[in-house]
Amino acid sequence: MIIFLPLFIFGLGLLVGSFLGVVIVRFHTGRSIVKGRSKCDRCNRTLEWYEMLPVVSFLALRGKCRTCKLHLSFQHPIVELCVAISFVLLYIHTILLGLPLALSVLYFIFSATVASVLIVVFAYDLKHKIIPDRLVYILGALSLGMIAFVTYTAHSFIGLGDALIAGPLVATPFFLIWLISKGRAMGFGDVKLALVLGWLLGIRAGVVMIFVSFWIGGIVGLFLLALSKKHSLKSEIPFAPFLIIATALVVLGSLTQYSFLQLWF
């Protein structure tokens, strides 16, 4: 049972990741994310079920379409593996928190849902340099819903003000950068994402996340300037991935041992 459950969660993560890969590709294209079979982009052939097995099919087909030999994007297996690994890490994180069983299940479902949405935001912003408002609103609803749940179950409004102010406080540095640079150094989508991440993390972990995200962004930016001729100081680099990586490090306990349920109070 000890071995089976993490394997089951890993497999569940692969399946969820496969679906999220479809969401990333079809989002804002007018195509339904739940209807319609997947097709090859070149020969337009409808893919068989055994060609869509997470990671396995990509490896078996050697990353190529079975008919026209079009090289398939690495995005799909990478997203699938990222979601699966995230689910397992969140499962381990949940166990280590030592919460009651019902609360552990709720925490895992909540954190896995948040992680899934953040992975879609990460991939979409990296690819299109846009953070979809709809996804930010979903994250906002999840974070505020969790704050309300914690407040209700604790039967106390102590700390509620800090929980609610965390979002605007964490978003303030990003808002100032957006305002002063007139949107050239920071997009407003990053401001909105920082707002909901502040609600998710709370003030203390949110402040840590700010510093970590800028450190990661700075290091990556320097590497791109040094190694790539395509990038310059004026190059547009999506910042959402840095915010999400920093958030993952904070939540998984690399920089703090707080959980979503402990951050605010």
pLDDT, tens digit, for every residue of 191-201? Answer: 999 999 999 98
pTM score, two decimals? 0.87
pLDDT in tens, 163-181: 889 999 999 999 999 999 8
Structure tokens at 10: 């890993």
Tokens 């982009």: give the residue: 41
Q: pLDDT digit string (tens) for 98-157?
A: 878 888 898 899 999 999 999 999 999 998 889 999 999 999 999 998 888 877 676 556
Residues 6 or more apart in contact with residue 117 via CB below 8 angstroms:
135, 138, 139, 142
Among residues 57, 79, 201, 58, the alpha carbon closest in space to that of 142 is found at: 201
